[in-house]
Chain A
């Protein structure tokens, strides 16, 4: 330290100051995230982007299924609908976090001011995600209600395992948040493509994480990709919790009715094992994302990317 200055207002050595800053940043960023996400001033825009868009994506899948299945709404329809409803949270969290970086840097031009402030950047990103997860949850509920009321989706509310649902949701968010922060880190060091990286990744995940079809039906190589993705196990957990058990398909083989799990591979895990996988992968993602973001932040500082406008 060179000869200078007087005592700072806050000292690094002051116990708890870092934690206080983290909590404060999280609280303010959550508030900001909610303000940005819940643009109630324009209900039409809110309705289009928050409700209609994910609903349209889910309905496309439903229509495709109906065409193929000839209007037969078996258990696979429930598998498909519930998976797609919860997949909204994957998109909202992961794509949303990457979008936060792009939005703050290019649209609001505030990222540099956030970075030069004492706001804790990791807590800031997590806080900004809270609003997105809230909106995502709201959309999931609307989607499920639409399915039940208009599309013949059957959910036995008495069988819903609320405890497991909560456990899977919380631990899954850890993993999804971690993956989202990794994408946010990537968005920090790439140009305007940062705007679409979240959506592109979420689109890839839709194919591979068991939202459209179980990993068992994928070619061997792609099946391994699917099984390496934390959202695959999270979606299975959410399906089980809503369904009150492993989802099965009923088919007729040689005149006999056969009941088999829709995903035999995932069915081999008990709820506790599945929760263990979701929790373990969630913790790994969280730690990994923290380390990755720190590294990529340094890269961005080295390359002068934090305040560089690329979208014009």
Chain B
């Protein structure tokens, strides 16, 4: 599937195509001064810069660098299910790696459950756990139960509690019949479900879920989402930081969402508030045929078009076009441009704004589209 975004330059872009985040970004909701909820996660100006090997000047200093995170400030409340939404390479996983003590930040401060993850890493590790989706981890020689039991022991969970939790968790993720099966004999999806159990078996205070439903079938993904919500509701002090590619998942699960791109937080608020960003900017979807690059460009630059994405459909003979407009009246100009370029409209509809639309507005491209 190929998705393209034609956009007009807006005040939030710079000539390099990289979003500029103002110091006081109005899209990042300020904490209410009366809000006394404790924070589970706080990052202050966290950055991460990778040095690229082989690029050195005469003094032997590395000249080429890659900025994965460029000064991220985040506050996640205790008891919150917080989502990080962003395309590949946005910096989501880098941030999770830093918060889970796997990676050292290049600058800034990170606190998890009140602890500095750099200076108090050992203490922080006792209170956290993480799950990465889309991977086949696990000691193949051990059974599912043994794998989970082993990790519970690293966290000092009593044997009785561990066995009870394992039985309960395996039942929830529908793996109870595989409890005594070797991990090497499990399918990828079954391994992922086991790994998901590993993340919760230790009853952590803060769980980091990095694309937990990636690669799971619909039923397994639903189980994971339901469990995550139920687990949160059992104890109001539990916190989850979730990264996901799936807008619907973020919309359904998260109390608040931060949209991140190029290592910077572009917006941070509840899904409802984020969608309100587009309240005054209607979203239209047009399915049209007879279009080419020129006509697509012309439509993207029609007066009143804030963003436009195009996705080839029906074997390339038609396009699904999505428009974010300054106001409803602008659709007239779009339709006229389309007609002037001999395009024919198959369908046209006005949509309620979704997180996907918010994402397109802020990032300049859809989540499924890799940056060129």
Contacts and interface: CB of A to CB of B under 8 A. Distances in A.
A2 B111 contact: yes
A12 to B, nearest CB: 5
A116 B100 contact: yes
Query: Could you say which interface size class chain B belongs to?
Result: 35 or more
Query: Could you say which interface size class chain A belongs to?
Result: 35 or more
Interface string B99-127: 01111100000010111100010110111
B137 to A, nearest CB: 4
Interface string A25-40: 1011001100110010
A32 B148 CA distance: 12
B150 A3 contact: no
A1 B153 contact: no
B135 interface: yes
B125 A113 contact: no
Contacts of A3: 38-39, 114
Contacts of A193: none
Contacts of A27: 153
A69 B155 CA distance: 58
A35 B146 CA distance: 10
Contacts of A41: 141
Interface stretch (A151-159, A232-240, A301-309): A301-309
Contacts of A24: 153-154, 156
A200 to B, nearest CB: 23
Contact of A39 (B78, B141, B154): B141
A16 to B, nearest CB: 12
B138 interface: yes
B39 A2 contact: yes
A1 B142 contact: no
Interface string A59-75: 00000000000000000
A20 B155 CA distance: 11
A9 B78 CA distance: 16
B140 interface: yes
Contacts of B111: 1-2, 4
A17 B244 CA distance: 36
B40 interface: yes
A264 interface: no
B127 A109 contact: no
Contacts of A18: 122
B40 A4 contact: yes
B129 interface: yes
A108 interface: yes
B151 interface: yes
Interface string A276-301: 00000000000000000000001001
B130 interface: yes
Contact of B114 (A2, A12, A21, A113): A2
A35 B136 CA distance: 19
A21 B202 CA distance: 15
Given A4-B111, A12-B123, A28-B150, A116 B130 contact: yes
Contacts of B120: 12
A9 B104 contact: no
A118 B122 contact: yes
Given A116-B129, A118-B122, A5 B205 contact: yes
B97 interface: yes
Given A39-B141, A116-B102, A21 B156 contact: yes
B167 to A, nearest CB: 20
Contact of A32 (B42, B102, B104, B150): B150
Contacts of B39: 2-5
Given A5-B205, A108-B137, A301 B151 contact: no
B135 A1 contact: no
A110 B139 contact: yes
Contact of B128 (A1, A36, A114, A116): A116
Given A25-B154, A108-B140, A119-B154, A8 B125 contact: no
Given A109-B136, A110-B137, A117 B205 contact: no
B205 A35 contact: no
Contact of B198 (A12, A108, A113): A113
A307 B101 CA distance: 11
A302 B141 contact: no
Contact of B78 (A5, A20, A112, A302): A5
Given A1-B115, A3-B114, 8 more contacts: A5-B237, A8-B127, A35-B139, A108-B139, A109-B137, A117-B125, A118-B122, A298-B104
* List of 4 A-B pairs having minimum Cβ-Cβ separation, nearest first: A4-B114, A109-B137, A119-B154, A5-B114
8 contacts: A2-B114, A32-B139, A110-B137, A115-B102, A117-B154, A118-B126, A119-B154, A307-B97
